[in-house]
Amino acid sequence: MAASIAPECNEVKEKYDTCFLKWYSEKYLRGNTSSNDCEELFSKYKTCLNKSLKDKGIDTMIEDARKGNKESDAEHNRRS
Amino acid sequence: MKFFENVYTYDYSFPAVTLAYFLRYPNPYSRHVLTTDVIERHIDPKTHRLHTTRLHLKKSKVPSGILKLLPKGMGGSDSSGQSYILETTIVDAKEGWMETESRNMEWTGILSVVEKQVYQRQLLEGALDNLAGFALDDQTSEQTTVKTTVTFRSRLGQGKLLGWRKTDAIVDHNHDIDDEPAPKKGFFSSLSTAGIQRTIELIGVNRTRDAILKSKQGMNVVLERLRSGGIVGVLEGMRQDREAAFSPEGGPWKRVWLRGNALKDDDDN
């Protein structure tokens, strides 16, 4: 599995990824879309990741990217 | 503005292709991808579609061809050699399609690259209508087409350089020799601005041609591993890729592999 940008989150990410793959292939793809087996692991992983993204200042960059992209798309759509 | 478009067919079922998409890093063609994180994921309660946002960190440099076009100091100042890519995907397992979008988050003023893909299930004649009968390794009854569209947009010299923090640097009027910023905006307000934008967009297109080929080769490696060894096969392949890429010992990834191996009990293969 791919490594996390935050090495300290690798372990919980690994657990989450494994859980997701199992859920995705065995449940979601077979039509069971209401289950959320990995919610708890995802929440733990996100807590760890968000802290690191914040420390690195990437959280605001992600927000900016989303905002900026929306703006530029709107701009582009007006022109064409 | 430049576009790149391509249609490709995978000889694998739609479920397998979507799984491979989420599992595609690392693979032998993705040595430049350093990390991948899921930053958001949910199922839309109405449509039952799976929405995912991921953040990839990739090794990359501003191409030298583009560097030559930039005022000195621009492009080299933040040369960490890494770039962040934001990827969003929506999967509709019932209708059999997946849409993906990937964007660069930095340098978007110099060149914004947006890659969109639409994956579509193609049922072949005689295939089962009932999805409940699908198998991840079933490649005879289904194919999956993917249409890739990449948009390149350079706004260099348009004054509003989104994602470019050091806006002062752009007033440099002679990119070859000047070290200090010139007071006038001569370079960028000149007639050549459009030409420079076009050139930058073209360099982006050429690089993308190669990148898209590599990403398909990578997907096919992951899909083949999935077909022959299930998820365990993919994880084993990843372990080998990583050992080849990093160290002969394998290091901390051995732990990962052991944990991944726990899936074996649930795998029919």
pTM of the model: 0.76
Average pLDDT value for residue range A22-42: 92
A13 in contact with chain B, both atoms CB, cutoff 8 A: yes
Spatial contact of B60 and B111, defined as CB atoms under 8 Å apart? no
Neighbours of B180 (CB within 10 A): 8
Kindly state the tokens that stand for A2: 């791919």
**pLDDT attached to residue B39:** 95
Assign 3-class secondary structure to chain B.
CEEEEEEEEECCCHHHHHHHHHCCCCCCCCCCEEEEEEEEEEECCCCCCEEEEEEEEEECCCCHHHHHHCCCCCCCCCCCCEEEEEEEEEEECCCCEEEEEEEECCCCCCCEEEEEEEEEEEECCCCCCCHHHCCCCCCCCEEEEEEEEEEEECCCCCCCCCCCCCHHHHHCCCCCCCCCCCCCCHHHHCCCHHHHHHHHHHHHHHHHHHHHHHHHHHHHHHHHHHHHHHHHHHHHHHHHHHHHHCCCCCCCHHHHHHHHHHHHHHCCC
More confident residue, B96 or B72: B96
Instruction: Fill in the DSSP letter of residue A37.
Output: T
CB-based contacts of B159, cutoff 8 Å, min separation 6: none
Measured distance CA(B98)–CA(B50) in Å, rounded: 9
Residue among B25, B26, B37 minimizing CB distance to A49: B37
Q: How many CA atoms lie within 13 A of B220 on its CB side?
A: 12
β-pair partners for B115: B102, B150
More confident residue, B243 or B172: B243
β-pair partners for B143: B122
Instruction: Fill in the DSSP letter of residue A8.
Output: G
pLDDT in tens, B73-87: 555 445 567 889 999
Chain B residue with minimum CA distance to A67:
B162
Label residue B36 by pLDDT band (50, 70, 90): very high
Chain A residue with minimum CA distance to B22:
A21
pLDDT in tens, B166-185: 333 333 333 333 343 444 45
In chain A the first and final C-alpha atoms are separated, in Å, by 41
| Summary mean pLDDT of chain A | 86
Average pLDDT value for residue range B52-62: 88
For residue A8, pLDDT beyond 50: yes
CA distance A55 to chain B (A): 15
For residue B62, pLDDT beyond 90: no
The domain spans of chain B are 2-230
**pLDDT attached to residue B16:** 95
Kindly state the tokens that stand for B215: 């990403």
Label residue B41 by pLDDT band (50, 70, 90): very high
Q: In chain B, what residues touch A29 (CB-CB under 8 Å)?
A: 15, 18-19, 93, 134
Q: How many residues does chain B have?
A: 269
Q: How many residues does chain A have?
A: 80
Q: In chain B, what residues touch A1 (CB-CB under 8 Å)?
A: 23, 235, 238, 256, 260
Measured distance CA(B220)–CA(B210) in Å, rounded: 16
Q: Do B57 and A26 touch (CB under 8 A)?
A: no
φ/ψ region of B256 (left if φ > 0, alpha if ψ in -120 to 50, else beta) reads alpha
Spatial contact of A50 and A6, defined as CB atoms under 8 Å apart? no
**pLDDT attached to residue B179:** 40
More confident residue, B232 or A65: B232
Give the sign of the dihedral formed by CA B119, CA B125, CA B129, CA B131: negative
Q: Does domain B2-230 have CATH number 3.10.310.40?
A: no
Q: Do B136 and A25 touch (CB under 8 A)?
A: yes
**pLDDT attached to residue B192:** 74
Asked whether the ipTM of the predicted complex exceeds the cut of 0.90, the reply is no
Q: Do B35 and A30 touch (CB under 8 A)?
A: no
Average pLDDT value for residue range B42-51: 95
Closest to B88 in 3D by CA, of B130, B137, B50:
B50
Average pLDDT value for residue range B227-245: 85
Q: In chain A, what residues touch B136 (CB-CB under 8 Å)?
A: 25
**pLDDT attached to residue A65:** 77
For residue B267, pLDDT beyond 50: no
For residue B133, pLDDT beyond 80: no
Spatial contact of B214 and B29, defined as CB atoms under 8 Å apart? yes
For residue B135, pLDDT beyond 60: no
